[in-house]
Amino acid sequence: MASLNVLVAVSLAYVFLLFCVAFAAERAGVQGRAGWLLRSPLVYTLSLSIYCTAWTFYGAVGYAARSGLEYVTIYLGPSLVIVGWWWILRRLVRIGRSYKVTSIADLISSRYGKSNGLAIVVTVMAVIGVTPYIALQLQSVTASLSIFIAAQHGSLAESGDAHAAGLWISVGLALFTVLFGTRNLNVNERQHGVVIAVAVEAVVKLIALLAVGVFVVWGIAGGVSETLARIDASSLGTWQMNGSRWAALTFVSAAAFLCLPRMFQVMIVENDDERYLQIASWAFPLYLMLMSLFVVPIAVIGLDLLPAGSNPDFFVLSLPLSQGQEGLAMLSFLGGFSSATSMVIVATLALSTMVSNHVVMPIFLYLRQGGATQSGDVRNVVILSRRLSVLAIIGFGYIYYRASGGSGALAAIGLISFAGVAQFLPAMLGGIFWRGATRAGAFVGLGVGFSVWVFTMLLPSFGPGAALSVDTFANGLFGLGWLRPQALFGIPGLDPTVHAIFWSLLLNGVSFVLVSLMTFPQPLERLQGAQFVNVFDHSGQTRGWQASVAESEDLMIMAQRILGAREAQRLFQAEAQRQGRGDYLPEPTADFLQRLERELASSVGGATAHAMISQIVGGSAVSVQDLLAVADESAQMLEYSSQLEAKSRELSQTAAKLRHANAKLMQLSDQKDAFLSQISHELRTPMTSIRAFSEILRDTDGLGPLEKTKYANIIHVEAIRLTRLLDDLLDLSVLENGQVTLNQQSGSLVDVLDQAVATAEASEARSIAIKRRRLEETVTLHTDLDRLSQVFINLITNAQKYCGSDTPELQIVVQRAGDSILVDFIDNGSGIPVASREVMFEKFSRIGAEDAAGAGLGLAICREIMTRLGGNVNYLDGTGGTAFRVTVPGRQALAAQ
């Protein structure tokens, strides 16, 4: 006869064993030993079994005793989900691993642009949805204890004892969770101790349930066929199924399997290898199947054998006890205990991560702005906040358990919780399959679904008159008939559970989709959406944090989209040069990335720029295409401004042209003023001499004949100088007005040059050595030879006047170019400054103010003449001295004229 003390001792020993196992696993994990066990698909599959809580361990039998086969839907949903792992789980696991997702709240908030508001909403919903579930576990353990006590003492134990037991169990669970669940800050560092303990408990509860089942089928009923016969003979004997419940419960259990924070923790966060899913795809359904295999037999036999009024929820315990199988009952108790504790530990762990990451830490960081720069400091705060969260959540569970006082069937509470967390489903699936899902959609969908769930399922569960008034049940909220909690929109007749599941998820999904369609996501949301939805396109190869040159190319492409090709190339080239890499792409050093980010930030804003760079360089798996999509959008925004820029550029170009023209006009105007001064000077200077000497001749008595002759001669020379000046002016004027008549003759270039050289030498005092190659000059010309000679004379005298060399020398080079003849006059002077070349052929133009000798008409005349002759005269660059090229057209050119 096992006493209660023995039971307590065995329980404590079992707990101690769990602590040891967890501790050993933690040690082994830290030392890197036993990886084959810690990271094995077996442990992974077993850890999934926290799906089977005390509710399923005890409650399933009760459920079956009340509703026949309906209990099995709770297992069918998860079986389908994991058998169809390819569809959803594989994607979730990949996303979870690629983006270091820490919880379902983190997943949803990351997907929708790292919105912490969304994370808080999900966290709060999860806490509200799961806390009753934790209370349920505490209740089931204390209740199972009281079954033992009742069996021993023949009466139910004092409720005070049960509450004390509940408290001690809570404390123990909190201790365990704090010890093994919050050791590591990084959620991606696996909580080996917890996982192994959970796996051990999974084995214990399976063995316990199987043992009871085997005992019932073979020990009591006497075999399989007898059992089946007894089943058919029982009150549950025929198929009595509400079809809508069958489908709805299968669906909601599948949804909960995905959305329950604890399931997300073990399935996604603690997953080491995607391939474990393949093993789990058959192993976990097998586990579930075995867990549910003996439920109906136990229920039927229990209904048969146990006295009426026994709580069917605890047939698993009371049946062996009634048959005197104390040991089996003990094992069964440990199974239930395992189910409850493993669920509480993992659920608390998952919730505490969410609460601490999304509620406590943001508040902490907000309160200590800027003070959070010391990293060690913050790490401690995170761990502390996680531990406090654990205590708070288990505390909530205990308070709820005390407050609810163990009311209601276990299954009811479980289903309410399932339906509550299932509200995450639209936002989660929409987030990972549909790029169009937006944050606003997720907010509204979650809000609507949660509100409907609270109104139609949670509040009514307390019974009419408790949370909702009887009047509300009968006539709807605010007396509105269509707001009856169990007949929304005036559609009665649905099963309340189906009604709540159907309406909450339908309205949730519809509002999520509608709002998503109507709103526009922010860039970060779009980026995250693209990554999550297309997670398989990119995460095939793992990229390190060290960026490679290949990524430089990606960066370059992206930068080009945002900065424009030229600017981006300039930036990259400058960097490559700075790194001494020549024409290759630069290494994406931290320095360069920072600079690039700043550049990008100026175009698309800091946050986006940061995200873009870190996505490319950080090894996270967004494709360049995705970034470009966002970049294109930015480009569209930038297009308008770039159009404006182009216009202003055009304007400034026009302005520059105008300025240029104006400068030229000013220059010409200045030259005109200078020319007028010059003309005045040129005219007045000879006149001064003429006047002065004529007055001397007139007024001075006693001049000798020699002096008279001398002064008369001066007057004569100056008069000739005046005449020549006037001739030049007239000549230019005639040429410009096109009134000149050309006197076409044929002649040899040699003769023309001979004549020109002779004339120039005669007229100019300063001499210059002239080098010619007469052989090349034997070319027959047909043109106005006199005018051509005038041009030559002008060029030669210019060289004589302005050469400036100590040993002045002029080379005359003749060559043919097609039909034309080129005559170059090259001296060894200092050349013409570039600025002057443009204007020196203009009339009135003089090079240098100090050249007093010329009126600046010579070159203007030359150009006019050559234009008339169908040729040209140009400054010849690159000879070292001052050089002019006269282009004389050949016969054809002339004939064609």
Partner 1 sequence: MGKHVLLVEDELNIIEAIRFLLSREGWDVDTHSNGTDAAEVIRDRKPDLVVLDVMLPGKSGFDILEELRGDAQTADLPVLMLTARGQSRDREMAEKAGVSRFMTKPFSNTEVLTAVRDLLYVHGQRT
Partner 2 sequence: MAKPGTPLFLERGSYRQRRMMDAVKLIAILGAGLWMIPLLWPTAEPGTAQAVSLSQALLYVFGVWWFLIAIAYVLARNIRDMPEQSDETEAM
Which of the ranges 182-190, 686-694, 785-793, 888-896 carries the binding residues for partner 1, by CB under 8 A? Answer: 686-694
Alpha helices in 49-115 (DSSP H): 54, 60-67, 73-83, 89-98, 104-111
Q: Which of residues 235-264 bind partner 2 (CB under 8 A)?
A: 236-241, 243, 246-247, 250
Residue 327 class from Cβ within 10 Å (0-12 exposed, 13-18 middle, 19+ buried)?
exposed
Q: Would you say 393 and 123 are in contact if contact means Cβ atoms under 8 Å apart?
A: no
DSSP 769: E
Which of the ranges 16-24, 225-233, 593-601, 832-840 carries the binding residues for partner 2, by CB under 8 A? Answer: 225-233
Q: Which of residues 270-329 bind partner 2 (CB under 8 A)?
A: 275, 278-279, 281-282, 285-286, 289, 293, 296
**Least Å distance between CB 489 and partner 2?**
24
The interaxial angle of helices 159-176 and 326-355, nearest 10 deg, is 60
Structure tokens at 201: 């408990």
Q: Which of residues 525-554 bind partner 2 (CB under 8 A)?
A: 536-537, 540
Total residues contacting partner 2 (rule CB under 8 A)? 40
Q: Which of residues 428-487 bind partner 1 (CB under 8 A)?
A: none
- Interface pattern 760-799 for partner 2 (x via CB under 8 A): ----------------------------------------
**Least Å distance between CB 659 and partner 1?**
26
Q: Would you say 627 and 527 are in contact if contact means Cβ atoms under 8 Å apart?
A: yes
> What residues are paired with 821 via a beta bridge?
816, 888
Confirm or reject binding of residue 850 to partner 1 (CB under 8 A).
yes
Which of the ranges 57-65, 306-314, 561-569, 678-686 carries the binding residues for partner 1, by CB under 8 A? Answer: 678-686
Which of the ranges 77-85, 777-785, 808-816, 879-887 carries the binding residues for partner 2, by CB under 8 A? Answer: 77-85
| 3-class DSSP state of 874 | strand
SS3 string, 393-457, reads HHHHHHHHHHHHCCCCCHHHHHHHHHHHHCCHHHHHHHHHHCCCCCHHHHHHHHHHHHHHHHHHH
Confirm or reject binding of residue 72 to partner 2 (CB under 8 A).
yes
Best CA proximity match to 414, nearest among 461, 354, 484, 352? 461
Confirm or reject binding of residue 695 to partner 1 (CB under 8 A).
yes
Of positions 3, 159, 652, 700, contacts partner 1 by CB under 8 A: 700
**Contact of residue 462 among partner 2, partner 1, none (CB under 5-8 Å per partner type):** none
Angstrom distances, CA of residue 186 to CA of 276, 373, 379: 22, 18, 10
Of positions 11, 53, 79, 177, contacts partner 2 by CB under 8 A: 79
Q: Would you say 302 and 212 are in contact if contact means Cβ atoms under 8 Å apart?
A: no
Structure tokens at 606: 């800091």
Using DSSP bridges, classify how beta strands 745-748 and 883-888 pair: parallel, antiparallel or unpaired: unpaired
Confirm or reject binding of residue 228 to partner 2 (CB under 8 A).
yes
Of positions 287, 315, 532, 693, contacts partner 1 by CB under 8 A: 693
In angstroms, the CA 197 to CA 181 distance is 11
In angstroms, the CA 646 to CA 656 distance is 15
| 3-class DSSP state of 89 | helix
Which of the ranges 40-48, 473-481, 710-718, 875-883 carries the binding residues for partner 1, by CB under 8 A? Answer: 710-718
Which of the ranges 249-257, 289-297, 345-353, 713-721 carries the binding residues for partner 1, by CB under 8 A? Answer: 713-721
Confirm or reject binding of residue 234 to partner 2 (CB under 8 A).
yes
Q: Is 189 left (phi over 0), alpha (psi -120 to 50) or beta?
A: beta
Of positions 594, 677, 746, 778, contacts partner 1 by CB under 8 A: 677
**Contact of residue 716 among partner 2, partner 1, none (CB under 5-8 Å per partner type):** none
**Least Å distance between CB 286 and partner 2?**
5
Residue number, 278 or 685, with CB nearest to partner 1: 685
**Contact of residue 607 among partner 1, partner 2, none (CB under 5-8 Å per partner type):** none
| 3-class DSSP state of 537 | helix
Angstrom distances, CA of residue 110 to CA of 148, 432, 540: 48, 11, 21
Q: What residue has token string 């004229």?
A: 897
Residue number, 701 or 806, with CB nearest to partner 1: 701
**Least Å distance between CB 238 and partner 2?**
4
Best CA proximity match to 336, nearest among 498, 205, 185, 145? 205
Of positions 657, 684, 766, 891, contacts partner 1 by CB under 8 A: 684
**Least Å distance between CB 872 and partner 1?**
33
Q: Would you say 291 and 209 are in contact if contact means Cβ atoms under 8 Å apart?
A: yes
Residue number, 290 or 722, with CB nearest to partner 1: 722
Of positions 159, 380, 577, 680, contacts partner 1 by CB under 8 A: 680
657 Cβ partners below 8 Å, 6+ apart?
Answer: none
In angstroms, the CA 206 to CA 218 distance is 18
Q: Would you say 49 and 202 are in contact if contact means Cβ atoms under 8 Å apart?
A: yes
Confirm or reject binding of residue 699 to partner 1 (CB under 8 A).
yes
> What residues are paired with 873 via a beta bridge?
886
Confirm or reject binding of residue 689 to partner 1 (CB under 8 A).
yes
- The residue ranges that bind partner 1 (CB under 8 A) are 676-677, 680-681, 684-685, 687-693, 695-696, 699-700, 714, 717-718, 850, 852
Chain residues binding partner 2 by CB under 8 A are 68-69, 72, 76, 79-81, 83-87, 228-229, 231-232, 234, 236-241, 243, 246-247, 250, 275, 278-279, 281-282, 285-286, 289, 293, 296, 536-537, 540
